[in-house]
Copies of this chain bind each other. A is one copy, B any other.
């Protein structure tokens, strides 16, 4: 019934990328996938066909790509590894939040079930990673994080950051310098027109925040 598992890191990264695109509401085209993974379009076509043979994605030439239930389970398992690792590296080994993504990107593929469990236990079975991204459960459930983008927040009203939708190290360092971490309290004081920057207050300090960055900060 359940298929053999001979998935390489490449398989896992493709499946995860398909899941990420899909969950972000992007249509999963061959080029979107190739772009996400920084590979040539031909490489993506090639791997998608293999994943189709493995029963992990549905694929018809020239159609957009989707995960099968089996594929989604694989994606969620890898994502669970990734986010557990990010949180562990951040909380227990004190790596800064801008470093954990890259590190977890490699470690996620070599985690045994036993080590996954040990890490989850050591963290007290957490539900979100250092960026506020939800950690899938072992049986493949993810809770969606409720909230709105800081760019849409009401003025002069304190909000709590629940998630930061970025992995780029440079930008995370920049946000970190302003203490814009999950659980921080932030207030939008002014909003410039034409999608201009926001004047915000965090930790008693005022900062100007670009609109595209504010869109990545989810608050409640």
Contact = CB atoms under 8 A, between A and B. Distances in A.
Interface residues of A, number: 18
A102 B110 CA distance: 11
Contacts of A114: 95, 99, 103
A93 B122 CA distance: 7
Contacts of A95: 114-115, 118
A24 to B, nearest CB: 26
Contact of A110 (B93, B110, B115): B110
A92 B89 contact: no
Contacts of A106: 110
A114 B103 CA distance: 10
A94 B112 CA distance: 14
Interface in A97-115: 99, 102-103, 106-107, 109-110, 112, 114-115
A93 B107 contact: no
A95 B112 CA distance: 11
Contacts of A18: none
A93 to B, nearest CB: 4
Contact of A92 (B94, B102, B122): B122
Give the interface centre of A94, A118, A122 by most chain B CB atoms within 10 Å: A118
Contacts of A122: 92-93
A216 B16 CA distance: 44
A114 B89 CA distance: 11
B112 A110 contact: no
19 contacts: A89-B115, A89-B118, A92-B92, A92-B122, A93-B115, A93-B119, A93-B122, A94-B118, A95-B115, A95-B118, A99-B114, A102-B112, A103-B112, A103-B114, A103-B115, A106-B110, A107-B107, A107-B110, A110-B110
Given A93-B118, A102-B112, 17 more contacts: A89-B115, A92-B92, A92-B122, A93-B119, A93-B122, A94-B118, A95-B114, A95-B115, A95-B118, A99-B114, A103-B112, A103-B114, A103-B115, A106-B110, A107-B107, A107-B110, A109-B110
